[in-house]
Structure 1
């Protein structure tokens, strides 16, 4: 099934779902060369982003602590269960703008079927309220 591309339809059907857990970003880069088995850590990553400066891993906080990896901030993971197309225009902008207006930082990841938001762990409930208002306004 093809994903939705109509912005109003996507916003009406956001259906945010909170994935259980506490998530952190860690960096594997030139300044993090150490004795850890990075392949094992990457297998446990929930997301991986490869950049010139290094590889960013999104891990459950417990895993980062187990491997003694440094991180800055703990995030909650919200999945927008609406099946949006990778070709859709405006969903990321609408969601991030609404959250920004509420003073909530948001890091977005796109999957083949859903978009995912990582927001500060103490703002997850606030983010859900903002998303509910955004969805209801359509």
Structure 2
């Protein structure tokens, strides 16, 4: 069942469309995109984003702010990054209410011995996998898509 709920953004003339919820369609349409840079995770207790840093992800935790950013930016800013990663975007527009897609994706990667940090955003799901396993991860995702 495809859900296509149209809602207007307050004050904006555009509509937003809920994404796909059918697990078969979700998996068939994964269409993984491997981003070029190498990304790292850093943390900051002062909750400030350093100048010259443009994170692709910011998450607030009790212990501090987590940033995911290109490794070169982290090094230039003198930030110690961990988990050198490849960033993969699953280009299917998945619903935030979809059931099972990320479970299937992360289980397939786990079976291949590939660690994964997954993030769901409004339109797409994103995976951060070890940089040296990026090609393997793409192959697993393509196999999963059939």
TM-score by structure 2 length?
0.84
* Residue ranges of structure 1 left out of the alignment (5+ in a row): none
Counterpart in the other structure of 1:16: 32
Residues 83 and 113 of structure 1 are in contact (CA less than 8 Å); yes or no, is this contact kept in structure 2? yes
Question: How many angstroms does 1:38 deviate by?
Answer: 3.2
SS of the residue 1:21 aligns to: coil
* Residue ranges of structure 2 left out of the alignment (5+ in a row): 1-16
In 2, distance between residues paired with 1:118 and 1:40?
22
TM-score by structure 1 length?
0.89
Q: 2:117 aligns with which of 99, 107, 115?
A: 107
In 2, distance between residues paired with 1:38 and 1:60?
17
Change (3 A) 1:135 1:49: same
- Root-mean-square deviation (CA, aligned residues, Å) is 1.6
Q: Which runs of 4+ in 1 moved over 6 A?
A: none
Count of matched residue pairs = 130
Which structure ranks higher in relative contact order (CA pairs < 8 Å, sequence separation ≥ 6)? 1
